[in-house]
């Protein structure tokens, strides 16, 4: 399959961010949106997330919430993404049921990825591949990990961590099914729409 774009929200947003999101989603193909509001309280997420979920789902974009399976269900998300320090993957799968999507952070570990697959993950996320502004990554992953995974397993793999248009090509070539991008879109010099257009062209090999 052709590599696809997976957007992550910035860790902190204001209510006007929904307009920025619409601009980005209307510019080109986006497969999924992860609501990752790390710098907000749960109550703030409950207020900020619903408009984002509506505009994304209206455009056929799958919406996942970071960390919290119960809140993901309550908000009407399509799934949840959990890290290694969050709810265990098996527990998250039990909480959200078989219909919603489950993504699992696996850092640079083949073992964690295989465990996630066995626990019912719909995709595994490897990273960070590059330095990132949104968090301090505990691991540095090698693009060869994407190649190894994609050649052996059917479950899609997501590349994450500091990805921009300028450094994405090696990850696409290595076999990433999705590129998870945050500041590489929202902080793009020409704006989010231009970033989405550029990523789509790159993924199509143009």
Q: Are strands 32-35 and 4-8 parallel, antiparallel or unpaired?
A: parallel
- Average pLDDT score over residue span 112-117: 98
CB–CB of 53/20 below 8 Å? no
User: Which two structure tokens, joined as six digits, stand for 38?
Assistant: 């790390």
Domain count along the chain: 1
Position 135 scores a pLDDT of 64
**pTM of the predicted protein model:** 0.96
- Average pLDDT score over residue span 90-100: 97
Between these two residues, 90 and 131, which has the higher pLDDT value? 90
| Percent above pLDDT 90 for the chain | 94
pLDDT band at residue 48 under the 50/70/90 scheme? very high
The separation between CA 190 and the C-alpha centre of its own chain, rounded to angstroms, equals 22
* Residue 63, φ and ψ in degrees, nearest 5: -115, 125
Position 117 scores a pLDDT of 97
Q: Is the pLDDT of residue 133 over 90?
A: no
- Average pLDDT score over residue span 46-54: 98
Q: Which of 117, 182, 171, 113 is nearest to 142 (CA)?
A: 171
Count helices and strands in the chain by DSSP H and E runs: 9, 8
Position 169 scores a pLDDT of 97
Integer Cα distance of 43 and 32 in angstroms:
23
Instruction: Output the CA–CA distances (angstroms, integers) from residue 150 to 106, 156, 157, 171, 175, in the order listed.
Output: 14, 7, 7, 12, 6
Q: Is the pLDDT of residue 138 over 90?
A: no
Report the SS3 class of residue 89.
Answer: helix
Q: For the segment 144-186, what is each residue's pLDDT rounded down to a tens digit?
A: 999 999 999 999 999 999 999 999 999 999 999 999 999 999 9
Position 69 scores a pLDDT of 98
Report the SS3 class of residue 152.
Answer: helix
CATH number at residue 16: 3.20.20.70
DSSP string, 108-141: T-HHHHHHHHHTT-SEEEEE-SS--SSS--S---
pLDDT band at residue 132 under the 50/70/90 scheme? confident
pLDDT band at residue 134 under the 50/70/90 scheme? low
- Average pLDDT score over residue span 34-52: 98
Integer Cα distance of 27 and 21 in angstroms:
10
Range of the domain at 127: 4-203
């Amino acid at each position: 399959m052709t590599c696809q774009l997976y957007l992550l929200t910035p860790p902190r947003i204001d209510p006007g961010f929904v307009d920025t999101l619409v601009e980005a989603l209307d510019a080109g193909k986006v497969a999924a949106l992860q609501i990752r509001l790390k710098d907000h309280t749960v109550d703030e997420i409950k207020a900020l997330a619903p408009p984002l979920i509506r505009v994304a789902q209206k455009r056929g974009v799958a919406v996942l919430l970071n960390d919290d399976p119960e809140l993901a269900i309550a908000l009407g998300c399509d799934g949840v993404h959990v890290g290694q320090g969050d709810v265990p993957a098996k527990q998250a799968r039990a909480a959200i049921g078989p219909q919603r999507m489950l993504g699992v952070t696996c850092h640079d570990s083949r073992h964690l990825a295989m465990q996630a697959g066995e626990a019912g993950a719909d995709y595994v996320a490897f990273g960070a591949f590059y330095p990132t502004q949104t968090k301090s990554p505990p691991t540095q992953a090698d693009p060869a990990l994407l190649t190894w995974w994609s050649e052996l397993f059917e479950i899609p793999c997501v590349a994450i961590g500091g990805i921009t248009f300028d450094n994405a090509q090696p990850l696409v070539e290595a076999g990433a099914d999705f590129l998870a991008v945050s500041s590489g879109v929202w902080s793009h010099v020409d704006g989010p729409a231009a970033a989405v257009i550029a990523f789509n062209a790159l993924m199509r090999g143009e």
